[in-house]
Amino acid sequence: MTNLSYPRFHLAFPVTNLEAARGFYCGILGCPTGRESDRWIDFDFFGHQLVAHLVAPEDHPAAATNSVDGHAVPASHFGVIMEWDQYEQAVEMMKANGIEFVIEPYVRFEGREGEQATLFVKDPSGNHLEFKAFRNIEMLFAKDIESY
């Protein structure tokens, strides 16, 4: 049974192939499934409800980008914030499964208060996912830019 002691997010997103989505989210990322139909699948994405909805390839939106640290970061993306060791394990798992990185794993603000590790990958439908970790999770919503 999932611990519901804090609010969970629900995100519905388009995919062009449900079985490819199942292979990626279940087979590679290890996300269990919930309810499903021939048009959608619920995934338990690290305790959150992610719902893949089948769309025609021509209806899948293109991704715009913004420049961050010299990387073209997809403006439309979602992901998970992990413990540092979980992030490092995820990096190794993705490498072992031949997942291509859109943005290779790297550390931002290294040695400073806001130090964080991040990477971007795409699912089989081209949706962008970010995986990240903070050395100090208290910096997640820090406003003091000067400390960076």
pLDDT tens per residue across span 79-98: 999 999 999 999 999 999 99
CATH, range 61-148: 3.10.180.10
1-58 is a CATH 3.10.180.10 domain:
yes
- The string of pLDDT tens digits covering residues 8-31 is 999 999 999 999 999 999 999 999
Nearest to 125 by CA among 38, 60, 81, 80: 60
| CA end-to-end distance (rounded Å), the chain | 39
pLDDT tier at 2, thresholds 50, 70, 90? low
pLDDT at 143: 77
Beta-bridge partner residues of 52: 13, 41
CATH 3.10.180.10 domain position(s) in the chain: 1-58, 61-148
User: What band does 76 get if pLDDT is binned at 50, 70 and 90?
Assistant: very high
Q: Is the pTM of this model over 0.75?
A: yes
Distance CA 15, CA 39 (A): 10
Is pLDDT above 50 for 147?
Answer: no
